[in-house]
Structures are given as structure tokens and as C-alpha cells.
A and B are shown apart, each in its own frame.
Chain A
Amino acid sequence: MRKTKITAWAVLAAFAGFLAVGPGLASAQSKEPIKVGMIQPLSGPIAAAGSYITNGAKIALDRVNAKGGVLGRPLELIIEDNKSDPAETRNAAEKLIVRDKVPVIIGAWGSSMTLAMMPLAAQHGVPIVVETSSSGKITDPKTPGQKIVSRISPTSELEAVGAGALIPKLGMKKIGYLAVNTDWGRGAVVAFGEVFKKNGAAIEAVEYVGQADTDFYAQLTKFKAAGVDSIVITDDAPKAAKMLQQMKELGLNVKVLVTGGSAWPDSIVQLAGAPAAEGAMFINFYNPYDFAMAGDAEASKAYVDEWKKRGLPWIGIVEGMRGFDAVNLIAKAIESAKEPTAAKIHAALKTLEVRGLYGLNKFDQNGQSYCNIIVTQVKDGKYSVVAVTPSSKLWELSAAK
């Protein structure tokens, strides 16, 4: 009896000793990887987009590690699935912060998802690099947790400013707006509505669609009856493709502009077929055919080459660049922070300037970066560029304000 008690104490003492020494050992091991958290939709209706971004991030990660990592240590991505759901995003963020103790998080594709995890991250002081979400709310100082955010993707407002000048030239006057029923879609309708108005076009009807919807006949029939001459879509590539197909099926021949940067000519031609895609226009932030258009031409080429080499789906390449840029930005931030802690990385992100695929990634007082806005079109079944508003021009405009 006595003996077992002694053994138990010995075990406890050894365990306490391990706990005391454990962290010391960890810091002594300089080769231990620096963890970076990443939250993406890897299942659910927008899983494809999440998988493209994760793949882009892995390409950047391998490049950083091949060059010796950061601060002499390799970077490690801890990827969590938010199941395309805001509540799951918060759970994933909690897991990354509390259990994995990551000093920085990349995420979380959808605006509603990103907004759901911001207060929690702010509470723990863990910075978020937002790679895709475009709702204006995320960088609005009134939003809880806004201070913790550095966003490389553009807001819908920026997209609208970048593309707005084109509206009169395109002859868009009576517009039907088809948007996904989330913070992203609802924010975009407001942002584009203002710019359209300034440019002499009016939104005739606004219709919202569910995240997992596949049938848009009801909305399109309504637009047809309203006699719109153009349809603006804010949604992901697969749904935009279905909408274009169903417009043709209903005999609705109008001008189409797809915002948000996830849909682009090549993906829509593949998903909807060339006849349905013909003439459709897209707001994009990256051109995989013209490396010089990106902020860093060399990185752009390396990224495209590696994407092809890994046999990843070509239609995902303009989505994948978001993950690529986010990881590169974080690597630079850790490098300049000299210490991989949440507070130091957060501070470093505020002053950083990194040329990437998006354009010039740096952040204004609200944590917003201004990227390239490229308007593209399907012409004779092929990719073509209609207009470009470079990142540098948008930075000038904001400085002038």
C-alpha cells in the first residue's frame, strides 16, 4: 500500500518536472515549425473554392520552406474545415487558438464565416489575414474584432470603384442583381448599387439565392418579366455558371457581369459550356496569363508553373492565389516581427509592404489592402481582358482622399 503511494508520488513528480521543463525544451529546439492556422470550407457547398485556396497556400508554404523557412524554422500549416458554416468557423478558430496555439490565422473564405470568428480572435489577440471575404463589414471599425484583421482581398466597394467606370461604356442601364444570400452578397448589392447609380444605371430588381441552390428559374423569370438589359451576379463560380446556363434555357439574352473574383472566363467556359459563357464579364484580381500584371511577376510565374506541375484543376488557379499570397505575407510578417508571437505578428502586419499576386499588399488604417481589379470577358470562348485598374492606382486614389 505504502509502496504504491510512493510510486504514485514519484510519477506525479516526474510529470510535474516534465511540465516545467517541457516548454523550455521546446524553445531550445529551434527547428520546431512555426504554426500558421488556416480555416477554409473543405466540405459543404463551396468546398471546391476552399480546396483551391488550400492548394495555393501549400505551394507558397513549400516555396518558403525550400528557401530555409522563416527565422531558421520551417512554417507549418494547420488546416481546419469550416464546413461552409459560420458557427463551425468559430469552433475551428477556437481549436486553432486554444489547442494548437497558432499565432496567426488565415481565413475563412465567406464573409459571414470570417465575421463569425473575428470577436474570438480579437479576444485572444490572434491576427487574422483575410484572403477572400469581401463584405465591407469586416474592415468597418464598428464591427467587433475589426482591429485584428488584415485583408488582402478587396471589398465589394473597391471592386465597384475599380469596375464602375465601365458601366456606361458597356451600355448597362436596367440591371437585375442576383446575389448569394450572405453578408458577401448583401454587401455587394449595396456597394455596386451606389456605383451603378453614379454611372447612370439603375438596379431594377434584386434577388437572393441560397448557398446550396441550383435552380434559379424563379429569379430569372422575374428578371425577364421586368425587362432588364443586364444581370449582375455575386456568387461563386459553379453557381454563376448554372445561372448563365439557365439564362440561355429561359431565352434571356442580356449582358452579364459576375463580381467577387471567384468566377473567371476559363472556369465558366468549362462549367457552363462555351455557348452559355460567351460574352459574360467578370471582376477578377489575378490574371494567370499575364505575369507582369501581378505585383510580383516572378512569383506569379512560379505559382502558375507549380499549379500546373501539381496537376491541380486549372479553373481553381485564380482562387488558389489567395492562399498563396496570404502565406507569403505571413512569412514576411514573421520575418520582420523576429518572433512568432501573435502580438508581434499583428504589429508587423500593420507596417508591412509585400508585392504579391493580388498587387501591392499593405494595409490602410482599417486593415484593408487595395489589389488589382481586372475586368475579363469570354470572347469567342477564350479569356480576354476588358480593363484593368491597377493596385497602385487604387492606393493613389485612397491617398488623395
Chain B
Amino acid sequence: MLAELTQHVVNGLILGGGYALMGIGLTLIFGIMRVVNFAHGEFFMLGAFFLFTLFSLWGVNFFLASLLSVLGVGLVGAVVERLVLRRLRLQPIEIPMLAMVALSVIIQNAAILLWDPSPKTIKHVFSPVPLTLGPIHVVSIRLFAGAMAVALIVGSHLFIQKTRLGRAMRATFQDTDMARLAGVDVDKIYMFTFAFGAALAGAAGALLGAVFWVYPAMGDLAALKSFAVVIMGGLGDFLGAIVGGLLLGVAESLGAGYISSGYKDAIGFVLIILLLLWRPQGLFGKKTLPR
């Protein structure tokens, strides 16, 4: 009984680590830049496919391949910002949103043409044999993914709070004109922030692609969960994304375990509705006036 509960909670934390990881990239792009990025799932998917191509097809070292994949997705993000979003920056929020919907369809179908739709497994370097602690089982790739999630989230948080570039980013999205007057190259900051958010999505895709599998539609569910995590945690809040992700993971795991697995996704979203009724700004979000 207790063993079952513990295993459910452990499962939920591991699942939630993945959700948090999906959410942090979106926290930057949606939470701070206010771009409703419907192509977020596609950056996630590209991270996984880049890793698959580099590691499984071309035989590059797993860790180097992961790093290159993340940088690759960042590059794609930079190109998207330069070619699409920059032209739409002054438009109302729904214009870039629609552009991202279109981009999502284009990228996903390009992936189907490029890699075909059959699911691929990344035969990663971790042992498939679970680590056991009494009745509790965990596999090391999932622990690795969880640890990387925490490292990336804390790293990003420190980067944005403590560095000069991070300060410039925050200034830009608080008041673009003032930032420009203070000498910040606003165009560069927009491009960098979007690329950074995309790269984080790519990192999540590469890690979770190795845990699960890689296929062109894998981003759909990831995007949905990312929005849930970001909205639940509070827009633009990294700590919120962690707590939101873990909460969603544990709620789903316990809900599926003790209520009904048929309603697993519904349980997560009911939780979000309840939470937003209580705190419309999310767990850690600050009350802001509409812009």
C-alpha cells in the first residue's frame, strides 16, 4: 500500500520533471516575451530529431550530440525570430499567434517528409536495468533527465537574474522604449530570448526523446503540457514552472493511480482550473495590469 503510493509519487515527480523542462522554454517565450508560441512543441520535437540524427544515425558522442542538438534548435529559433516574429512585433498578440500556428504545421509536416512518421528509438548510453530501492524502481535515464531539468531551470533562472544580458532581457520586455534609450540593442535581445527559449524546448525534447521515443507529432502533447505548466506556475516565473510541472506530474500520477487513468489528462486540467479560480495569476505570478 505504502509502496504503491511511494511509487506513484516517484513516478509523478519524474513525469513532472519532464513537464517542468518542457515548460521553462515557454516561460521565456510566452511568459516574458508574450508570444503565444504554438510552435513550442515543434522546437521540442526538433531537439529530439536532431539528437536522433546526430547520435543514432551519424554516431556522434551522446553528450556532444545532445549539446549540438540544443544549439541547433536555438539557431532555428533565431531564424524564426528574425524572419517571422520581428516583422510582427508591433502587431496585436493574435497575429504572431497565428503565424506560430502556421509554423507549427509547416515544421511538423517537414519532419514527416524528412524523417518519415514512424517512431524512432534513441538507444542511449544509460542502462535499461532499473535502480531498485526496496519496492521502488527508477531507471537512470529518467533520473538523468530529472537532474538535467533542475540544472537547466536553476541555470536559466540565475542567468536571467544575475547577468548583464539577463538584466537587459528583463528591461527589454518591461519597457522596450526605455531599454532602447538606455542603449540596449532591443532587436538582438528579442532574437536571443526567443532562441534561448527554443533551445530550452529543444533540450527538453532531446532528453525526453531519449526516455520515450521520437516522432513528428511528439510536440503536440508537449506543447499542451507546457502551456499548462507555465499558466499554473505564473507567467515568466522559473520557480513556478518547476513547481507547476511537478504538481501536474504528481496530480496526474496519483489521479491515474487512484481515480481513473482514462481521465488522467482531465485530472491535470481540472487542477489547473481550480488553481486559477483561486489564484488567477498562477502560483508564483505577480498581479499585473493588462497591457
Contacts and interface: CB of A to CB of B under 8 A. Distances in A.
Tell which of A217, A222, A270 has the most Cβ of chain B within 10 Å. Answer: A217
A242 interface: yes
Given A51-B116, A225-B4, A238 B213 contact: yes
A223 B259 CA distance: 14
B220 A218 contact: no
A43 B137 contact: no
Contacts of B109: 43
B132 interface: yes
B155 interface: no
B31 to A, nearest CB: 25
A249 B143 CA distance: 12
Interface stretch (A89-97, A207-215, A393-401): A207-215
Given A222-B257, A250-B137, A212 B15 contact: no
B221 A251 contact: no
B121 interface: yes
A143 interface: no
A215 B12 CA distance: 10
A224 B257 CA distance: 11
B212 A215 contact: yes
Interface in A301-335: 313, 315-316
B221 A212 contact: yes
Contact of A217 (B1, B15, B112): B15
B22 to A, nearest CB: 12
B252 A249 contact: no
Interface in A147-170: none
Interface in A267-307: 270-273, 275-276
A248 interface: yes
A48 interface: yes
A126 to B, nearest CB: 27
Contacts of A388: none
Contacts of B216: 43, 47
Contacts of B12: 218
A68 interface: no
B262 A181 contact: yes
A43 B252 contact: no
B139 A249 contact: yes
B117 A51 contact: yes
B252 A218 contact: yes
A154 B166 CA distance: 60
B213 A43 contact: no
A215 B15 contact: yes
A218 B116 contact: no
Interface in B102-125: 108-109, 112, 116-119, 121, 123
A212 B217 contact: yes
Contacts of A271: 119, 121, 213
B221 A43 contact: no
A42 B117 contact: yes
Given A221-B11, A251-B137, A47 B213 contact: no
Given A181-B262, A225-B4, A249 B137 contact: yes
B121 A218 contact: no
Given A219-B256, A221-B11, A43 B215 contact: no
Contacts of B119: 48, 238, 271
Contact of B8 (A44, A213, A221): A221
Contact of B253 (A217, A245, A276): A217
A47 B217 CA distance: 8
A204 B159 CA distance: 51
Nearest to B139: A249
Given A43-B216, A47-B217, A181-B262, A316 B118 contact: yes
A225 B119 CA distance: 31
Contacts of A381: none
A249 B130 contact: yes
A158 B57 CA distance: 41
A182 to B, nearest CB: 11
A45 interface: yes
A276 B261 CA distance: 23
Contact of B261 (A44, A219, A250, A272): A219
B217 A218 contact: no
Interface in A170-210: 181, 207-210
Nearest to A214: B212
B217 A251 contact: no
Contacts of A222: 4, 256-257, 261
B32 to A, nearest CB: 28
B128 A275 contact: yes
Interface string A232-268: 0000001000100100111100000000000000000
B264 interface: yes
Interface string B1-31: 1011001100110110000000000000000
Contacts of B132: 251
A219 B14 CA distance: 15
Tell which of B15, B217, B218 has the most Cβ of chain A within 10 Å. Answer: B217
Contacts of B262: 181, 207-208
Nearest to A267: B118
19 contacts: A45-B217, A45-B220, A51-B116, A207-B261, A210-B221, A212-B221, A213-B221, A214-B213, A217-B14, A217-B15, A218-B261, A219-B261, A222-B261, A249-B130, A249-B137, A249-B139, A251-B132, A271-B213, A273-B121
CB-CB nearest 3 A-B residue pairs = A47-B117, A218-B256, A208-B262
Interface of A: 42-45, 47-48, 50-52, 84, 181, 207-210, 212-215, 217-219, 221-222, 224-225, 238, 242, 245, 248-251, 270-273, 275-276, 313, 315-316
